[in-house]
Amino acid sequence: MTKTIADVMRLFAHEYPGRFSTTPERAKIWRSMLREFDREVVLAAAYDLASTCDWPPTIAQMRRRAVDLTHGELREPDAGEAWERVSRLISGEVETDSELSGVEREALRRTGQLWDLKRSSNPSADRAAFQRAFTALVEARRRDRLTLPEVRELAARRAAPALPEEGEKAMRTEKNG
């Protein structure tokens, strides 16, 4: 990873002369923040950002781009396009939900079952509800993907704390009593 980060920093120093400083501290931070990605992904993210950004990319932009490339997405899924696919299913143009992504299926489930949507008298409200659900799911997925592995592990360890001793005693007393 050291060589990869050095290559990325050389690229940015060359593309953004005088605007991107390469320091040992920055290199250490970038190595730490990008270590979960393959060399190919990190370099592709750097080239992509260098070709589209007027200012030097931040480590946050590099991570977002690397996550997108790792998951095969060149852009965020669009709620409007997702609704178009769902509305074809509602109207009967397509017969199965095989055209829908997992996120689209989940947003459809949260909005209401297909049967309900086919009989709805307010398609505008249905569309708005679906798009809200879809957008929330996409944002949650993106947040999860962008979270550093160490942060995820820490959150998982703290998510299921043990019952306090007093609570355990009270539960045992209720069972026995």
Query: What is the tens place of the pLDDT at every residue in 60-71?
Result: 999 988 988 887
Q: Is the confidence at residue 167, as pLDDT, over 80?
A: no
Residue 169 lies in a domain: no
Name the residue with higher pLDDT: 157 or 134: 134
Query: What is the tens place of the pLDDT at every residue in 101-116?
Result: 888 889 989 988 888 8
Residue 16 lies in a domain: yes
Number of compact structural domains in the chain: 2
Residue ending a domain, among 70, 97, 116, is 70
CATH number for the domain spanning 31: value is 1.10.8.200
Residue 159's pLDDT band, with cuts at 50, 70 and 90, is: confident
At residue 175, the pLDDT reads: 55
Average pLDDT, rounded, for the chain: 84
Residue 41 lies in a domain: yes
What would the mean pLDDT of 55-78 be, rounded to a whole number?
Answer: 83
Q: How many CB atoms lie within 10 A of CB 5?
A: 24
Residue 86 lies in a domain: yes
Whether 54 and 111 map to the same domain: the answer is no
Name residues whose C-beta falls within 8 Å of residue 163's C-beta, 6 or more positions apart in sequence: 171
Share of the chain above pLDDT 70, in %: 88
Residue 155 lies in a domain: no
At residue 160, the pLDDT reads: 66
Q: Is the confidence at residue 173, as pLDDT, over 80?
A: no
Q: How far is 23 from 167, CA to CA, in rounded Å?
A: 52
Residue 153's pLDDT band, with cuts at 50, 70 and 90, is: confident
The residue with tokens 């990319």 is: 57
Whether 125 and 103 map to the same domain: the answer is yes
Query: What is the tens place of the pLDDT at every residue in 10-26?
Result: 999 999 998 998 899 99
Residue 134 lies in a domain: yes
At residue 142, the pLDDT reads: 81
Residue 175 lies in a domain: no
Look up the domain containing 129 and give its range. Answer: 79-146
Q: How far is 134 from 119, CA to CA, in rounded Å?
A: 21
CA angle 15, 71, 40 (to 5 degrees): 45
Residue ending a domain, among 70, 87, 112, is 70
Whether 32 and 14 map to the same domain: the answer is yes
Whether 64 and 86 map to the same domain: the answer is no
Q: How far is 132 from 129, CA to CA, in rounded Å?
A: 5
At residue 42, the pLDDT reads: 93
